Chain A
Amino acid sequence: MNSTLLVNIFRFVLLLALQILVFNNMNFGGYVSAFPYILFIILYPVNGNKSNLLIASFFLGLIMDLFSNSGGVHATACVLLAYLRPYFFKFSFGLSYEYQTIKLNDVLTPERFTFILLSVATHHIALFLLESFQITFVLDVLLRTFLSTLFTILTCIILIYLIKPNKR
């Protein structure tokens, strides 16, 4: 139990640092960017405490907002994702997901991919909609969401493979 807590704190700090130092400076074509910091919410233990996750996600988003001058956009998107996470689990792994031992940071299966896709897409739609906050930009926002989702999923999968604990 204690080690999971430590791993989570480590992930929280590491992913935030990575996002702010590296990924915030990367954008293709001026508006496509990756947000792999949400891996913290995606990789949080399945049976972990849900209120803790909600609070941690809120602060994760808030710190991102602090660094990108965006009010509460990231915080809202992160809290939304943290709340919807169990439903996405149910959708991608079946009803009895709680009794299975799901490990996300392992070989990529269709179930795992579905889960990551759903999570990233939800987070990005909320993020970009709130960021533009204007109905006139809707098409532009959808394009941005689509391209950024692809980009984020790619970086997430690469990161999962990199972080994967080398037990073998």
Chain B
Amino acid sequence: MQQIFSFILKNSNRLLFLLLLGIALSLTIQSHSFHRSKVISSANFLSGGVYERINSVEEYLHLKEQNDELAQENANLKSLLFKTKDSAEIPNLDSLKGVLPKDIVVCKVIHNSYNVYENFLTLNAGAKSGVTPDMGVINSLGVVGITDNVSANYSTVISILNTKSQINAKIKNSDHFGSLIWNGKSTGFVQLVDVPRLATVKKGDTIVTGGQSVIFPENIGIGTIDKLETDSETHYYTITVKLFNDMTNLGHVYIIKSGNSEEIRNLENQHKKDE
């Protein structure tokens, strides 16, 4: 017994090191597994509060770009409004089909990272505004990411610039879909994989969100095709997509509460249980 005590006393530093290293490593490994929410995330009152303060200062530096973006969006909406007067033409830009105004939360990006492989954003809206995990986040230009951790006033978002992110996307005006992933290289480009060779695609085509996703409504812009490659093993296309969004400069974003997502998910889970 005494020897055990003396051993512990003699090696107290080493044991403490192993203990702390164990805790830190398990937190790391846990954060890299996709399906579990993180223990350590910036959606908490400390870092959320600090980031909000910093952002309130930084906001002024980007006022011009934000204004341009809003004016652009206004112009788009106006043109949509004027088009509908012409009853013969049905506007085909129904990017928010099935989403009521009350289902959209307007909020601000208070922290944005884009220099690591797993990038996250922090937003200043949380459970109090009705945000839950797995909700789509977009802005006027296109897709931004999917909500991950939610606290009372803040939430974190898995950016599309995250190697773990996978979003269902398709080529506009066709139903050939694939998964949108990021290879961790450039902040302006993402990759669309698993598009069948049958699909007629060419450089410059627009990529939008697919209808298979319960998180995003259909036809929200993502980017345009920059490069086309065929995978030599699977014979599927690997498409490099140039993003509409400048992910390094994000201001106001919209969180979408998709009305049917709960119902669809329940249905799918039921199916899995039956098997």
Interface string of A37-76 (1 = CB under 8 A from B): 0000000000000110011001001100111111111011
**Bound Cα distance from A36 to B29, whole angstroms:** 25
**Bound Cα distance from A55 to B15, whole angstroms:** 12
Give the B interface residue count (CB, 8 A). Answer: 41
Query: Interface of A with B (CB < 8 Å)?
Result: 20-21, 27, 30-31, 33, 50-51, 54-55, 58, 61-62, 65-73, 75-76, 79-80, 82-83, 130-134, 137, 140
B71 at the interface (CB under 8 A from A): no
Chain B residues in 8 Å Cβ range of A137 = 117, 184
Minimum Cβ distance to chain A for residue B110 (Å): 12
Q: Please pick, from B24, B115, B120, the residue contacting A79 in the complex, using a CB distance under 8 A.
A: B24
A interface, over-half SS: helix
Q: Please pick, from B28, B113, B122, the residue contacting A76 in the complex, using a CB distance under 8 A.
A: B28
Q: Which residue of B lies closest to A68 (CB)?
A: B113
Complex contact A72–B20 (CB within 8 A): no
Q: Which residue of B lies closest to A57 (CB)?
A: B20
B47-64: which residues lie under 8 A (CB-CB) from chain A?
47, 50-51, 54
B240 at the interface (CB under 8 A from A): no
**Bound Cα distance from A33 to B156, whole angstroms:** 22
Minimum Cβ distance to chain B for residue A99 (Å): 20
Minimum Cβ distance to chain A for residue B267 (Å): 32
Q: A30-B187, A76-B24 are in contact. Are A69 and B32 (CB under 8 A)?
A: no
Complex contact A65–B115 (CB within 8 A): no
Minimum Cβ distance to chain A for residue B168 (Å): 23
Query: Interface of B with A (CB < 8 Å)?
Result: 12-13, 16-17, 20-21, 23-32, 38-42, 44, 46-47, 50-51, 54, 111, 113-118, 120, 122, 156, 163, 184, 186-187
Chain A residues in 8 Å Cβ range of B44 = 66
**Bound Cα distance from A20 to B175, whole angstroms:** 45
Chain B residues in 8 Å Cβ range of A33 = 115
Complex contact B28–A79 (CB within 8 A): no
Minimum Cβ distance to chain B for residue A15 (Å): 15
Minimum Cβ distance to chain B for residue A126 (Å): 10
Complex contact B24–A51 (CB within 8 A): no
Chain A residues in 8 Å Cβ range of B24 = 58, 61-62, 72, 75-76, 79
